[in-house]
Structure 1
């Protein structure tokens, strides 16, 4: 039975999270909120929302900040333990248009084994440097998968089939910060997982808070690409044999 929930990692987005939840509540889908070691004011806001909206919210508190990837993994594991079949990852800051949610709900019911990933259609709010950085990551993802299949590896609006995804993140290393989103897609592709890609509207963000740490996160992403590149090389001999599976 398909039983989806939202999974929202939160780190100091106290001004945006209530509005994000308001935009999602009408879909009738429960939500797993992950407090990723938030500051006091954000922690209090999440606790208030959990008390007032406990009919559909489940709050998971991490003891310290681990990064977006760590928070998403915590949320996906919690969602699986709570009995959900799919986790729809949504950013806390209001980047994603709730009008795109119904297509994710539709596709997870039509194709429950697929990982459903958005690819962004930007408005004018997108920072040029961020846009150029994304395309550099796309090129490395295409190299590391030896494929052009993955259109965008960094969009945070996704629907994960939880059994397969939790098995992946428990069985293989994936990054804990901004490197998680592209790495998990590459490893999903390596495992032969089905991928459905949908266009989504993206705007930058309503509360003006970005947790992208220029130097540190770019170094982590570079290390991730290097790690995946050597993983691709290890798979290359088998990939060159048409009769052999990766």
Structure 2
């Protein structure tokens, strides 16, 4: 059985404050062996902090010459872990700002060894009195959007404490997103691929968080919510195309069929609906598969399931339209 204390822990860091050395010291005291620290372009001013991490706590430090974002830092660390510990069940990701306790990190390492086929998420209690108002409601809104639009139901979408299986790390290397939006894309990528296991963790916020956080409220929120905007555009534009084509086919049919009635009119409506849905569904499939989710999945499985869904919707739509027409 895998020694869970050997499971690597990844910590991306940009311009760390005193909380990073405190966390690293506590992790070493807890017996955590493999700590991969990513210096995401912090600059020469912070070099002593990372040098101390190497010398005093034995961390592996991976360096970006410039700030490339949290998503790129995680991918850099994933690549290192896959090459260095190919037989590990996965890796744990944690933040450098003290929001994750060593006890919770250790618990995740053990859970990763026990559940190597699922994505582990550390879920905070957003109803806790110490959680800032904007964090509480921002998480509730984002969770609703994930559930309604992407079919992913979790209670903490932006948690940095995660357990990522080795096989999933390989897939995530090609998933779009270089900054905070990468963590959202990671959740979407789990759909129909692997289960999500949520574990409660300590809810830690302090007065310094807003001063040291590198999360840009407008810019990074726009990146995170862009996926929902693209999904809504795909859905709405597909609906408009469907209705426009249906009207066009119905109009054109009038040039060739003189005032159909009874069964003939019902059949004509059905054919126009089917043709419009064929084109709009093909457009919707392409938009979702390539533009919205940037899926690398094999077309065979995805297309067959989509055709079944589109056919069921088309029959229901055509049947209702024909019924109303009659």
1:164, distance to aligned residue in structure 2 (A): 2.2
Q: 1:179 to 1:138 in 2, by over 3 A?
A: same
Match of 1:78 among 58, 77, 80: 80
1:115, distance to aligned residue in structure 2 (A): 1.2
Mark the runs of 5 or more structure 1 residues left unpaired by the alignment: none
Answer yes or no: is the 8 Å Cα contact 1:97–1:201 preserved in 2.
yes
* SS in structure 2 of the partner of residue 201 of structure 1: coil
Q: 1:239 to 1:145 in 2, by over 3 A?
A: farther
Give me the whole-angstrom Cα distance separating, in 2, the residues matched to 1:20 and 1:228. 39
Give me the whole-angstrom Cα distance separating, in 2, the residues matched to 1:228 and 1:108. 32
Aligned to 1:13: 16
1:102, distance to aligned residue in structure 2 (A): 3.4
The question of 1:188 aligning with 2:193 is answered no
Match of 2:136 among 118, 131, 140: 131
Aligned to 2:180: 178
Q: 1:205 to 1:38 in 2, by over 3 A?
A: farther
1:110, distance to aligned residue in structure 2 (A): 1.6
Give me the whole-angstrom Cα distance separating, in 2, the residues matched to 1:23 and 1:239. 50
Q: Within 5 Å, give how 1:66-215 maps onto structure 2.
A: 66-83=68-85, 85=88, 86-122=90-126, 123-148=128-153, 150-166=154-170, 168-173=171-176, 175-189=177-191, 191-205=192-206, 207-208=208-209, 209-215=212-218
Please give the root-mean-square deviation of Cα atoms over the aligned residues, in Å: 2.5
Aligned to 1:28: 32
Q: 1:160 to 1:205 in 2, by over 3 A?
A: farther
Give me the whole-angstrom Cα distance separating, in 1, the residues matched to 2:213 and 2:167. 31
Match of 2:42 among 38, 41, 45: 38
Give me the whole-angstrom Cα distance separating, in 2, the residues matched to 1:228 and 1:88. 30
Larger radius of gyration: 2
Give me the whole-angstrom Cα distance separating, in 2, the residues matched to 1:31 and 1:67. 19
Size of the aligned set, in residue pairs, is 236
* SS in structure 2 of the partner of residue 121 of structure 1: coil
Give me the whole-angstrom Cα distance separating, in 1, the residues matched to 2:156 and 2:303. 23
The question of 1:225 aligning with 2:292 is answered no
Mark the runs of 5 or more structure 2 residues left unpaired by the alignment: 235-287, 294-301, 310-326
With the length of structure 1 as denominator, give the TM-score of the two structures. 0.85
Deviations 1:3-36 (A, max 9, x none): 5110000001132110111221123331000000
Q: 1:159 to 1:147 in 2, by over 3 A?
A: closer
